[in-house]
Amino acid sequence: MKEKVKAFSYLRTSGKGQIGNGGFPRQRDAVNRYAKANRIVIVQEFSDEAVSGTTDAMDRPGLTDLFVALNANGVRTVIVENATRLARDLMISEIILGEFRKIGVRVVSADGGFDICQENEDPSGKLIRQILGAVAEWEKCALVQKLRASRLRIRRAGGRCEGKKPYGHTPEEAKVVDSIVEYRKSGMSYVAIAGQLNASGVKSRSGKAWHPTQVQRVLMRSKSTKVAA
């Protein structure tokens, strides 16, 4: 009976939302089904959580560990769910695959059953790999363009679409903002207001003491919000 081939597996999710949303389980299931059908033993799994497909290999702890392991033992097969698990950027994909080729490792796509590392030996495989990479890159660029357009529309409408929410967003913070506004109306300076808040045990969002500059920013934001409303 033919001896089973030893292999490593590599999994990657591109966003935090994918970690618990079927990303790893789906990839692992695809890899294990392929390995079982082809008498391959997965001896170790490597993974990168919430790592973009446009990030190169040296910035991925899991992929870096995979290369270290490959250079330290005789395993010469890596199985991924599909080519996009390595990279969605065509250039980065080719660079990573080139590193696998240098050390004589084949990378098998579980959903296609072919070695995506093959170059001159299999022109069809290379064409498929490049087409998949080009499509993935196009999809990424299209998504980025849509998100940028959406953010631009929100900014033009005077809204906020990214970053931390301004102070006063929660009901508790809104009460503090109201107090600051009343203090200012009574003629208190920024320094006096900060001192009053600190003396009353009111902490800033960071948990530290209030500073006059923070008081000024809160008041300016409060005024701009009322004007926009």
Q: HSE, CB side, 13 Å, CA atoms: give it for residue 167.
A: 21
* Cβ neighbours of residue 19 closer than 8 Å, sequence gap 6 or more: 13, 49, 50
The CA distance from 164 to 115, in Å, is 45
Q: What's the token pair of residue 172?
A: 């508790």
Is there a contact between 6 and 45 (Cβ–Cβ < 8 Å)? no
pLDDT, greater one: 169 or 229:
169
Is there a contact between 32 and 66 (Cβ–Cβ < 8 Å)? no
Domain residue limits, the chain: 5-141, 171-223
The CA distance from 137 to 53, in Å, is 9
Q: How far is CA 97 from CA 154, 155, 157, 161, in A?
A: 40, 41, 45, 37
Helix ranges (H only) for 103-211 are 123-156, 171-185, 190-199
pLDDT-derived band at 33, boundaries 50, 70, 90: very high
pTM of the predicted structure, to 2 decimals? 0.52
Predicted pLDDT at 124: 61
**Domain boundaries 5-141, corresponding CATH code:** 3.40.50.1390
Is there a contact between 107 and 116 (Cβ–Cβ < 8 Å)? yes
Q: Is the per-residue pLDDT at 38 higher than 70? A: yes
Tell me which residue of 50, 44, 54 sits closest to 19, measured CA to CA: 50
Q: Is the per-residue pLDDT at 144 higher than 60? A: yes
- Mean pLDDT is lowest, of 34-43, 159-168, 217-226, for 159-168
The CA distance from 97 to 169, in Å, is 48
The topology (CATH level 3) of 171-223 is Arc Repressor Mutant, subunit A (1.10.10)
- Indicate the SS3 state at residue 202: coil
Tell me which residue of 110, 103, 105 sits closest to 79, measured CA to CA: 110
The Cβ of residue 34 has, within 10 Å, a number of other Cβ atoms equal to: 22
The CA distance from 211 to 198, in Å, is 9
